[in-house]
Amino acid sequence: MAEAAPENEGDEVVRAWRTLAPLMDLVTPMALRAAATLRLADLIADGSGRIDDLARQSAADQDALGRMLRHLVCHGVFTEPEPGRFDVNAAAELLRSGHPAGLRLGLDLDGFGGTMDLAFTGLLHTVRTGEPAWETVFGKPFWPYLAAHPEMAASFDAVMSSADAFVTDAAGGYDGSTARQVADVGGGTGAFLVELLEAHPDLRATLIDLAGGRERGLDDYTDLASAAGPHIAGVHTTPLGHVVLDCVPR
């Protein structure tokens, strides 16, 4: 005779499915990225929200776009107040360009944000070998890849400095009262250093980053140059291929 099922075993199985099912889903994360890439939150908020308009404005297939949007509606992103017309809700608002969280850029499959996410298709390689997945997926190691793709390098810099609120909070977390000189090694285009200099205008600051294939023009450091108080005292490259930029108080 078969053993009686332990009490509540059914509940446990349901809980197990509820845990596992969302973790198996690749459709929703990709739908979110596709929606961010097509700037659907902006188009819907600023337009009629009708699927025919959206398909035209985003140069997408109307039927496929509608199905994808309905999938996101089912997961709580966007609403469909009437058939074929979509609206932006609080979750979709987070995907708008210019939102201080910088999410849209971070999910954009045409830029660095979404491309970086695709590197996770190589996770098994990393787990098997302990090596980074980037080269397996994109054909070159990470920094050489960026050096060979200037548009992706620019997008990388944009993503790094896009979350204004995060950069401001991070810079505000430093006690600059005792420091006279800071060095930001791997400081990118200086978004973090700008905030630090705004908060502590008497600091001397040095930014060091990769030059070479990723050489950034001085124009990229305009914000740094105009930050309150300090100004750029010098910029030079080293034989090891670094760009070094010094700021001193005015």
Ligand X SMILES: C[S@@+](CC[C@H](N)C(=O)[O-])C[C@H]1O[C@@H](n2cnc3c(N)ncnc32)[C@H](O)[C@@H]1O
Q: Binding residues for ligand X, per CB under 6 A?
A: 143, 160-161, 185-189, 191-192, 208-210, 214, 242
Q: What are the angstrom distances between the C-alpha of 196 and each of 60, 85, 149, 217?
A: 43, 45, 30, 21
Phi, psi at 47, each rounded to 5°? -130, -155
Q: Which is nearer to ligand X, 23 or 185 (CB)?
A: 185
Q: Which is nearer to ligand X, 40 or 243 (CB)?
A: 243
Tokens of 66: 């509608």
Burial of 95 (0-12, 13-18, 19+ CB in 10 A): buried
Q: Which is nearer to ligand X, 42 or 195 (CB)?
A: 195
Q: Which is nearer to ligand X, 109 or 208 (CB)?
A: 208
Q: Which is nearer to ligand X, 45 or 154 (CB)?
A: 154
**Least Å from the CB of residue 186 to ligand X:** 3
* C-alpha dihedral (90, 91, 97, 102), degrees to nearest 10: 120
Distance CA 166, CA 186 (A): 17
Residue nearest to ligand X (CB): 186
**Least Å from the CB of residue 9 to ligand X:** 48
**Least Å from the CB of residue 216 to ligand X:** 9
**Least Å from the CB of residue 184 to ligand X:** 6
Kindly tell me the number of DSSP H helices and DSSP E strands found in the chain. Answer: 15, 6
189: how many CB neighbours lie within 10 A of its CB?
21
Q: Which contacts (CB < 8 Å, 24+ apart) does range 183-186 have?
A: 183/207, 183/208, 184/208, 185/209
**Least Å from the CB of residue 96 to ligand X:** 22
**Least Å from the CB of residue 95 to ligand X:** 22
Q: Which is nearer to ligand X, 65 or 227 (CB)?
A: 227
